[in-house]
Amino acid sequence: MPRKEMPSGALTLLILRVLRSGPLHGYAIAQRIHSLSSEVLRVEEGVLYPALQRILLNGWASSEWGISETSRKVRFYRLTPAGRRELEAQLSGYDRIHEAIQAVLRTA
């Protein structure tokens, strides 16, 4: 099956949405996105961790070190109140764009 490209800007939205359910470490975030997308979307480390760093710098998540289910030292990411507000803003924008695209596809 051909590789699917993630739409531009979608990764931050997906990470914030996955973190809304609770704190996760990076690998678990990538696995959750992959699983929830019916294994269509794959998030590579080379794009995941820079995106997580941007999210931290924007104050949308906080992080702390902990131990994973496999007894490894990992960094857990948790959505902040600012991250919840950003998620809602991004979801609203996404919904508007999605509806506009669907309107064009239905009527063109």
Which pLDDT value is given to residue 1? 46
Which pLDDT value is given to residue 80? 98
Rounded to two decimals, the pTM is: 0.87
Q: Where are the domains of the chain?
A: 10-107
For 1-57, the pLDDT digits (tens) are 455 667 767 999 999 999 999 999 999 999 999 999 999 999 999 999 999 999 999
* 48, 29 Cβ separation under 8 angstroms: yes
Nearest to 13 by CA among 101, 79, 81, 106: 79
Nearest to 51 by CA among 61, 38, 37, 65: 61
Whether the per-residue pLDDT at 101 is higher than 80: the answer is: yes
What would the mean pLDDT of 96-101 be, rounded to a whole number?
A: 90
Which pLDDT value is given to residue 82? 98
Which pLDDT value is given to residue 3? 54
- Written out in words, the top-level CATH class of the domain with range 10-107 is mainly alpha
Q: What distance in Å separates the CA atoms of residue 24 and residue 18, rounded to the nearest whole number?
A: 9
Q: What is the CA radius of gyration of the chain?
A: 15
